[in-house]
Amino acid sequence: MKLIIGIIVSLLLTSLPAHSELASPESIKNLMEKTGAGDMGVQAMNQMLPALKKILPDASKQFWTDFMAEVSGDDLVAMTIPIYQKHLSQEDIDAINAFYDTPAGQKLIKTQPLLVQESMAAGQVWGQKIAQDVINKYKTQNQP
């Protein structure tokens, strides 16, 4: 029995990074508050609203108002804390938080929504070009 317990403990210890302290939920929450992660989640939900309204076309405006009032970025933050803990140590989170306290970090936080929006638009153009290239190549290779 001691051998089995020893093997289990050994496996658990070797599966965890030896030098990494598990990041605290508070430090991760601090990071997510700085970056507005919860707010971005609510914004994403607002962007999904038109698609949801198509699924439920008979739902009233009040239904959707009440529904969105219940949507909380805090729920998203709470759900993602374990994901951050899985991939980032306390040292990592502390360094990232320190970066976001710098002028460059603050600028990134402020401009990130625009960066994402413009990058998505560029990605759409890029994807359309690739799709057209695939169609043209296929037509070229399959013409008699």
Burial class, 87, CB count within 10 angstroms (exposed 0-12 / middle 13-18 / buried 19+)? exposed
Assess if residue 10 is contained within a domain: no
Q: Residue 50 sits in which domain range?
A: 21-130
Q: What is the pLDDT of residue 92?
A: 97
Nearest Cα neighbor of 121 from 113, 132, 110 is 113
Assess if residue 143 is contained within a domain: no
Assess if residue 86 is contained within a domain: yes
| Tens of pLDDT, residues 112-123 | 889 988 998 999
Secondary structure of residue 7 in the 3-state scheme: helix
Give the rounded percent of residues in the chain with a pLDDT score beyond 70: 87
Assess if residue 35 is contained within a domain: yes
- Report yes or no on whether pTM surpasses 0.75: no
Give ∠ CA 38-41-46 in degrees, rounded to 5: 130
